[in-house]
Amino acid sequence: MVKKVLKIFGIIILVLVIAIISIPLLFGGTIKDKIRYLANEHVNAKVDFADVDISLIRSFPKASVIIEELSIINFAPFEGDTLAYAKKISLDMSIKELFKGASDPISVQKFIIDEANIAVKTDSLENSNFDIVKSSEKAEPTQEEESSSFTFELDHYEINNSKLLYQNDVSKIALRMTDINHSGDGSLSGDKIILDTKSSSKVSFSLDDTNYLNKNALQLEAALELDLENQRFAFKENKALVNQLPLEFKGFVQLFEKYTDVDISFSTPTSDFKNFLAVIPEAYAKNLDGVLTTGEFSIHGMIKGKSDDTYIPKMDIKIASNNASFKYPDLPKSVQNITIDTQIKNDTGLADDMYVNINNLTFRIDQDTFAANGSLKNITSNMIVDMAVKGTLNLANLDKAYPMELEQQLNGILKANVNTNFDMESLEKEQYQNVKSSGTISLDKFTYASAELPSEIKIANANVNFQPEKITLEKMNVTTGKSDLAAAGTIQNLMGFLFSKQNLKGNFDVSSEVFAVNDFMVAEAETTEQETKQNPTEDALKIPSFIDATLNFDAKKVLYDNLELKNTKGSVKINDETAYLQNVTSNLFDGGLAFNGQVSTKTDTPNFGMNLDLSKINIAKSFASLELLQGLAPIAKALTGALTTQIKLNGNLNNDLTPVLNSLKGNALAEILNAKVNTSQTPLLSNLDNQLNFLDLNKLNLKDIKTSLNFDDGKINVKPFDFDIEGIKITAGGSHSFDMNMNYNVSLDVPAKYLGNEVGGLISQLSAQETNEMKVALPIGISGNFSNPKINLNTGQAVKQLSQQIIDKQKDKAKDKIIGEGSKVLTDLLGGSKKKDSTSSTSDKPEDKLKDAAKDILGGFLGKKKKKDTTGTKN
């Protein structure tokens, strides 16, 4: 790849130099445009520059060519990306070179590149932005063609203050070199050039999201022998400092038509154990100033063989240390008895056959010894891990011996004796039957504190047993905050969780004496630090995203918000930041609770859906503790007794995972099994009690009252329902909102006698029995707010209805009197036996006689009422 990039860059420079030299001699006029045209004819990219200049004086007796602001801009699929840019390129050559034809070889003695930026990229679809040579240029030239086109007789060259980016999204490699300064002085010896070079740069390198170098200083002094005829580049005397690790190397690289031959050996110039700390990736390495070391550390290696599309060079790299130690000056403990025996090797030249043998890796901190050995094979494709680990670690000593940047302080004793064998592809595909592990791991007196968790987690003890196809959590006892729990179960993918960034999967049985839900919720800040200062908000509780597990639980007491649930049993499946609750039962408010549903914190706004069944719960306790029930039926605040209800609802949650009442949608069916009323507990009932003199609401016993309601957009709709109080039938229905505004209609089927003086005159014509039996509907409108209700007793409508009932009743009486007392009249009417009274003004028509009889009967009643009214008597 490097060879191809250099070739492309060389072609572009060659074309530009030939154009700069030949066009001024052959053409007049628009020289720059012709040079641009010629350059763009050879590459599938846009080549441009600000200016070109040829001078015979600047470097006399040599000719000087300067290209200002050269840029190469990619076409699709990297449209608009800058492949290369150089602020200035200077080339010195003999004056006679200016008079050569375009096909004649051109020799350059000196070139300088200032402030170049080169960005080489390969995307996830394996498109490369440096593949810009047009098809006509892609045929590999012969050695004669290459040597006859562009030759070097270098005295000196420089690359100053430049940058190089190499990014490969397929292999997940990113290399960034900044502040590149490289120079070389050459001497011509036959067909060979000897270069003494000096290089410096700041290098950043990451592989698969792990940062191994971050702006680390790289220095290199190398003597190079360039055999241009045979394309052989030899390293004579070379010293490098890589990531604080000094290396010396020698050997050669030779380019052939179809492959590259490599033969390089390297080693550390000293055996100081400080060299080991120098090879630790930058993400974990610390300042080595003042570190005291004993023992030896060395790296010896060779890379030899051909490299092409199939093979890589064979290699053998040995890393060794024996009985070494180190101690940081500011830390109280040291790491001792360090032994390292590791080999990186490839015997065949096939990339898949590279392997790492960790023959021995041991160390000791205080009296705790830890040892590991194993191998990593098939590294470049489906890596196979075969490891054995045995030892004891006091976790509290880790950052006392090595300067680790831990998010929280670790404590506890870890003991391990485990053998494991697995391949990464099986982990990624969750084929856990291919993971072979055996042994045990125990953790005692472990503590874990994090800013995300409300309280420190303490694990008194935990034992994990590894079997060939199953990992068993034999026991784990945990306390945190107010909570305790004991757990046992199986873990499906511990290796996938540790090595492949998978969620932790398993099935567990958990028991607890006290389980406080908030002790296990992860706090996640919703705002930036600046936003928090301007508008402080409560952190949002989140269900951990790395858990994919099912918990079967049995808790004597569960604390959630201000609720206390007893004897809680059920199961919860946690997956994708969602908790699915199944068959949960509990004792709550002196009754029973059962529910199913889910809670999700995956979206920005948490949400839930739930089916609740509350059986024979204490009304007073439940309405004092549950904001939801307070909103659904505020009037229940005045009730004492038992309630059964089924509620189906969904909606959004606040940051503390309590319901956002105005977001709720659903329905409920409630039954008051028995209840007494205390009107003083609510202004509504108190005011209503004062206006209904014939009822004492405080003496009411409510029993077996059922109602259904639904809620949506912050409004609760109550379907009309009937109940009976002391012989009075009551129908109620309407709606209210969670902000306590209401609109209800209540109708009382009231005995007429309870309406008082307003109907005294009306009922005076009725018998005592009729007065007791006659009832009338009394409409009551209720509006306003539950704390400031407006009650409208519509007595006018009740009186009007009563009047109509009495009139109808008296009409019925009149008809009976006419029939009973007027048989003679009827006989006369029908038989004509009665003689006509010529003095009478009454009509002889039957219908007129009937009207007259009715007036006689009703006259007394109507006349009395009128008389009573005219005397001013209060009804």
pLDDT for 232-250, tens place per residue?
888 887 888 776 678 888 8
Amino acid at 508: F
**Which 3 state secondary structure label does DSSP give 606?**
coil
* Per-residue DSSP letter, 99: G
Does the pLDDT of residue 585 top 90, yes or no?
yes
Residues 616 and 637 in one domain: yes
Q: Is residue 230 part of a domain?
A: yes
The predicted structure's pLDDT at residue 150: 46
What count of residues does the chain have?
Answer: 875
* Per-residue DSSP letter, 822: -
The predicted structure's pLDDT at residue 693: 74
The predicted structure's pLDDT at residue 538: 52
The predicted structure's pLDDT at residue 145: 45
Residues 147 and 126 in one domain: yes
Q: What band does 656 get if pLDDT is binned at 50, 70 and 90?
A: confident
- Domain boundary (581, 597, 628) is at 581
Alpha-carbon torsion 125, 131, 134, 138, what sign? negative
Task: Give CA 237 to chain center in angstroms.
Answer: 54
Amino acid at 503: N
Q: Is residue 860 part of a domain?
A: no
Does the pLDDT of residue 320 top 70, yes or no?
yes
Distance CA 107, CA 18 (A): 11
* Per-residue DSSP letter, 657: S
The predicted structure's pLDDT at residue 541: 74
Mean pLDDT of 266-286: 73
CB-CB contact of 612 with 646 (8 Å):
yes
The predicted structure's pLDDT at residue 559: 87
Residues 593 and 577 in one domain: no
The predicted structure's pLDDT at residue 140: 53
Does the pLDDT of residue 390 top 50, yes or no?
yes
Q: Considering only CA atoms, which of 550, 659, 549 is closest in space to residue 612? A: 659
Mean pLDDT of 49-76: 81
Question: Which residues fall within 8 angstroms of residue 415, CB to CB, at 6 or more apart?
Answer: 391, 392, 440, 441, 442, 443, 444
Residues 633 and 537 in one domain: no
* Tally of domains within the chain: 4
Host domain of residue 709: 589-719
Residues 664 and 688 in one domain: yes
Residues 500 and 618 in one domain: no
Q: How do residues 782-820 score in pLDDT, each as one tens digit?
A: 998 888 889 888 877 777 777 777 777 767 666 666 555
Q: What band does 192 get if pLDDT is binned at 50, 70 and 90?
A: confident
* Beta strands per DSSP E along 60-146: 62-74, 82-94, 106-122
**Per-position b or e across 610-639, b if 16+ CB within 10 A of its CB:** bebebbebbbbebbebbebbbbbbbbbbbb
Q: Are strands 457-467 and 470-480 parallel, antiparallel or unpaired?
A: antiparallel
The predicted structure's pLDDT at residue 839: 46
Does the pLDDT of residue 478 top 60, yes or no?
yes
Q: How do residues 135-171 score in pLDDT, each as one tens digit?
A: 655 555 554 444 444 455 667 889 999 999 988 888 7
Distance CA 152, CA 61 (A): 18
The predicted structure's pLDDT at residue 859: 44
DSSP letter for each residue of 191-260: TEEEEEEEEEEEEEEEETTEEEEEEEEEEEEEEEEEETTTTEEEEEEEEEEETTEEEEEEEEEEE-SS-E
Tokens 């194993």 sit on residue: 374
* Per-residue DSSP letter, 129: T
Mean pLDDT of 296-306: 90
Residue with more model confidence, 396 or 862: 396
Q: Considering only CA atoms, which of 409, 419, 324, 331 is closest in space to residue 364? A: 324
Does the pLDDT of residue 337 top 90, yes or no?
yes
The predicted structure's pLDDT at residue 819: 56
Question: Which residues fall within 8 angstroms of residue 192, CB to CB, at 6 or more apart?
Answer: 225, 226, 227, 228
Residues 576 and 641 in one domain: no
Distance CA 708, CA 830 (A): 61
Mean pLDDT of 319-341: 91
The predicted structure's pLDDT at residue 359: 95
Q: Is residue 396 part of a domain?
A: no
Mean per-residue pLDDT of the chain: 78
CB-CB contact of 505 with 493 (8 Å):
yes
The predicted structure's pLDDT at residue 536: 42
Q: Considering only CA atoms, which of 444, 370, 464, 451 is closest in space to residue 409? A: 451
* Per-residue DSSP letter, 80: T
Q: How do residues 825-837 score in pLDDT, each as one tens digit?
A: 444 544 444 444 4
The predicted structure's pLDDT at residue 524: 53
Q: Considering only CA atoms, which of 511, 493, 513 is closest in space to residue 503? A: 493
The predicted structure's pLDDT at residue 703: 82
- Domain boundary (523, 558, 581) is at 581
Amino acid at 346: N
Instruction: Name 94's bridge partners.
Output: 62
Q: Considering only CA atoms, which of 72, 107, 268 is closest in space to residue 186? A: 107
Question: Which residues fall within 8 angstroms of residue 692, CB to CB, at 6 or more apart?
Answer: 748, 793
Helix residue spans in 535-682 (DSSP H): 619-625, 627-632
Quote the Cα angle for 556-562-567, to 5°.
15
- Domain boundary (145, 171, 197) is at 171
Residues 155 and 18 in one domain: yes
Residues 53 and 165 in one domain: yes
Tokens 């590459």 sit on residue: 43
* Per-residue DSSP letter, 777: E
Q: Are strands 51-59 and 192-207 parallel, antiparallel or unpaired?
A: unpaired
Residues 151 and 12 in one domain: yes
Q: Is residue 807 part of a domain?
A: no
Residue 122: CB atoms within 10 A of its CB come to: 19
Q: Is residue 453 part of a domain?
A: yes
Residues 85 and 163 in one domain: yes
Residues 126 and 39 in one domain: yes
Q: What band does 28 get if pLDDT is binned at 50, 70 and 90?
A: very low
Distance CA 312, CA 302 (A): 13
Element housing 672 (H / E): strand 665-677
Residue with more model confidence, 393 or 283: 393
Q: Is residue 701 part of a domain?
A: yes
**Which 3 state secondary structure label does DSSP give 784?**
strand
Q: How do residues 540-568 score in pLDDT, each as one tens digit?
A: 777 878 888 898 999 999 887 778 889 99
Residue with more model confidence, 359 or 723: 359
Task: Give CA 631 to chain center in angstroms.
Answer: 32
Q: How do residues 95-126 score in pLDDT, each as one tens digit?
A: 776 666 555 666 778 889 999 999 988 888 88
Alpha-carbon torsion 165, 168, 169, 172, what sign? negative
Q: Is residue 259 part of a domain?
A: no
The predicted structure's pLDDT at residue 763: 64
Q: What band does 869 get if pLDDT is binned at 50, 70 and 90?
A: very low
pTM: 0.57
Tokens 């880790």 sit on residue: 398
The predicted structure's pLDDT at residue 677: 82
Distance CA 860, CA 868 (A): 12
Q: Is residue 735 part of a domain?
A: no
